[in-house]
Structure 1
Amino acid sequence: MGTSASTHHAFSAEFDVAKPLELTGTLVKWEMINPHSWFHIDIEDDAGAVVTWRIEGGSPNELIRNGVTKNTLTIGSELTIEGYYAKDGSAKGVGRNFLVAGGERLFLGGSAPPVAPAAPE
């Protein structure tokens, strides 16, 4: 009988805690899969082009325990993600929280450390 192997990564191998991100966009896809959920968010870049970002969240079970279910957000919802950029420079990050309409902050789970608030300008 064959076995299957699942690869899993250390947070610090893929994401950079020295590079916090805050991205606001439109939810276009939400994958509740193990070992991590994925949020696909369309974000307009500085040139006006729409880029689809992939944001890693915690496992489906962790999200559900924190009250985040498929009914929490619908495709097309506007949201802001707080988290960290991927080290490889791709349009990928890890989310710590998302902020939804009305300012509610929801924990995305996973191993991302808390995001420090942005410094005032």
Structure 2
Amino acid sequence: MAVLVAGAPAWAHHSFVAAYDTRQPVELRGTINKVLLQNPHSWFYIDVKDADGKVEEWAFEAGTPSGMIRNGYKPGIIKSGAEVTIKGFRAKDASQKRGMLRELIMADGTVYGLFGPK
């Protein structure tokens, strides 16, 4: 019983359904401004122009560095200034400019499934 109780916080931490709405896919084109490869989850920050041309920063949560490498990512390959398209799911709180990353598509068409299978 103690193991189940002790495991609950870790399970809750990894419950992406609590933070992201898988019924609200998002696809954005923008420019990478920062990549943070860190545990437990990495982050990709992109600058996206809104309908009025104003730049907004979006943050996309990805997998662990080791999981991303298993999916074909090589550290340092995506640099600040790179033009990308990101596909994922929005945060449940639509006022937040963040999401869960599913695919990152480079300008040359290279696709990285950074948070699991494509």
Unaligned runs of at least 5 residues, structure 1 = 115-121
- Which of 59, 66, 74 aligns to 1:61? It is 66
Paired with 2:75 and 2:50, the residues of 1 have a C-alpha distance of 27
Deviations 1:5-39 (A, max 9, x none): 97724011000111100011000000001111000
Unaligned runs of at least 5 residues, structure 2 = 1-8
Cα offset, 1:57, TM superposition: 0.5
- Which of 70, 88, 99 aligns to 1:83? It is 88
Cα offset, 1:56, TM superposition: 0.5
Cα offset, 1:71, TM superposition: 2.7
Identity %, equivalent residues: 42
Runs of 4+ in 1 over 6 A off after TM superposition: none
Does residue 107 (structure 1) correspond to residue 113 (structure 2)? The answer is yes
After TM superposition, the score normalised by the length of structure 2 is 0.83
Q: How does 1:19-98 map to 2 (within 5 A)?
A: 19-89=24-94, 90-98=96-104
Cα offset, 1:69, TM superposition: 2.3
After TM superposition, the score normalised by the length of structure 1 is 0.81
Query: Over aligned residue pairs, what C-alpha RMSD do you find?
Result: 1.8
